[in-house]
Amino acid sequence: MLLEAEQIVKAYGKEPVLRSVSFGAEAGEIVCLLGPSGCGKSTLLRVIAGLEEDYSGTVRFGGRAIDRVPVHERNFGLMFQDFALLPHRRVGENIAFGLRMQRLPRPEIQRRVDQMLSLVGLPGYAQRTIFELSGGERQRVALARSLAPQPRLLMLDEPLGALDRTLRERLTGELRSIIKAVGLTSIYVTHDQVEAFAVADRIVLMDRGQIVQSGTPIEVYCRPANRFAAQFLGLNNLLPGRQIEEHSGRRGVVMQTAIGPLVVDQAPEEAAQLVLIRPEAAEQPTPNSINLIEGTVTRATFRGGNQRLLLRHSSGSELELDVEAGTFAEGQSVRLALRPNAITTIADAEEVVQND
């Protein structure tokens, strides 16, 4: 691991903020600290950056403990939600700010400014004022300023939080491409699940000062560690279940639930007590379909290419399921099949289950 945080404990007064947190990042990896407000993700970032004192534990970079290394000697790039651009300075001067602090020769400063503007897609913007820029352009200038000093680690705290959703969704892919282009190890903090999925190589999901789950975006989405992880990711189709048999003819097991027996592709772990049905599990039944369910549509929400149904089963259980837009109407009785590969089992617990 290039970056290692080991057993980090931090409190504000008597209020614990980080509870023995350990995680790391490989060289060139984008690690996203994801979680709700107050989970400790920004505090953990500040500990790594050297902006917090009075914590216990160790932060290592390249195998060397850096807890006593001053912020300005760590050479970590920082980018925050408000961008903190200098309004009275032009774009090029903003990008050059850290380079002048390094006392680089003027030709080298100019070379890097031009290089960064090209990298973030703003060539020729050096003489523009900050007030002439859109929100997305300001975000790119802030990123260019963070990258210009060639930091050893890039740290981003809600960098897109001040932008509207449409612009945020467009810029997430661009942001990842730029970071990957320079091959920089990055720690990215956000509360937005969609943003995390789009940017991260690995997601570290946090709650109440501890790590709940660590894995790739696909792993975290397809196999949430517990009830908290699933619900934070917007996966609310959770049913108590118990294994009743193995499914003959295919891998997986049959789980008994309130809506009937369901075939699940993977065998449940010992602690698993909940069956999670992802919204994309629904499909129109065929003669060979399994996991058939019937219910009444109590809500149908148009979502562009698809429709999100709230389906009430005769047992009283409600499921959120995605189908093709315009397929069903509110009040309609429907029959659907649920794909086993979009159903999983998870622990019926909210407590933290792991640290890195």
Number of domains in the chain: 2
pLDDT bracket for residue 48 (50, 70, 90): very high
Total residues found in the chain within this entry? 356
pLDDT at 356 over 90: no
pLDDT in tens, 321-345: 999 988 899 999 999 999 999 999 9
Which pLDDT does position 353 carry in this prediction?
47
pLDDT category at 270 given cuts 50, 70, 90 is low
Structure tokens at 236: 């609310």
Q: Is 65 helix (H, G, I), strand (E, B) or coil?
A: strand
Based on the fold, state whether residues 207 and 255 are members of the same structural domain.
no
Sign of CA dihedral 46, 52, 58, 59: positive
- What local confidence, expressed as pLDDT, does residue 330 receive? 94
Q: What percent of the chain has pLDDT over 70?
A: 94
Closest CA to 238 of 251, 252, 224: 224
Report the alpha-carbon distance of residue 155 to residue 341 in Å, rounded. Answer: 36
**Residues 7 and 80 grouped into a single domain:** yes
Could you tell me the CATH number of the domain that includes residue 55?
3.40.50.300
Place of tokens 């949430």: 224
For residue 328, being part of any structural domain is answered with: yes
Domain stops at, among 168, 201, 231: 231
| Claim to verify: residue 153 and residue 277 sit in the same structural domain | no
Handedness of CA 200, 202, 208, 210 (dihedral sign): negative
- Which pLDDT tens digit goes with each residue over 237-255? 999 998 887 665 566 789 9
CA dist., res. 221 & res. 204, Å (int): 12
Backbone angles phi, psi at 323, to 5 degrees: -135, 175
Give per-residue pLDDT as tens, 169-217. 888 888 999 999 999 999 999 999 999 999 999 999 999 999 999 999 9
Residues 32 and 98 in one domain: yes
Q: What is the pLDDT of residues 56-83, one digit of tens each?
A: 999 999 999 999 999 989 999 999 877 7
In this structure, what token pair is assigned to residue 2? 């290039």
Which token pair is 269? 């772990």
Do 170 and 319 share a domain, yes or no?
no
Residue 16 in domain: yes
Please enumerate in sequence order all residues whose Cβ is within 8 A of that of 60, keeping only pairs 6 or more positions apart, or say none.
Answer: 3, 4, 5, 6, 66
Cα–Cα dist 274/226, whole Å? 9
Which tokens belong to 282?
A: 């629904």
Whether residues 86 and 222 fall in one domain: yes
Q: Are residues 190 and 276 in the same domain?
A: no
Find tokens 């009785």 and name the residue.
333
> Does some domain include residue 209?
yes
pLDDT at 170: 83
- Give the separation between CA 99 and CA 228, rounded to whole angstroms: 44
Could you tell me if 274 and 286 are in contact, meaning their C-beta atoms sit under 8 angstroms apart?
no
Residues of the chain with pLDDT > 90, as a percent, come to 77
Mean per-residue pLDDT for 90-100?
94
CATH number of the domain residue 305 falls in = 2.40.50.140
Strand order in the sheet with 253-257: 242-246, 253-257, 260-264
pLDDT digits (tens, 9 = 90+) for 101-131: 899 999 999 999 999 999 999 999 999 999 9
Given a contact cutoff of 8 angstroms between Cβ atoms, the answer to whether 345 and 274 are in contact is yes
Q: Which range of residues forms the domain containing residue 25?
A: 3-231
Tell me, rounded to whole angstroms, the distance of Cα 111 from its chain centroid: 34
Strands 3-12 and 56-61, bridge-based pairing = antiparallel
318-349 core/surface letters (b: 16 or more CB in 10 A; e: else): ebbbbbeeebbeeeeebebbbbbebbbbbbee
Choice between 353 and 118, residue whose per-residue pLDDT is larger: 118
* 238 lies in the same domain as 302: yes
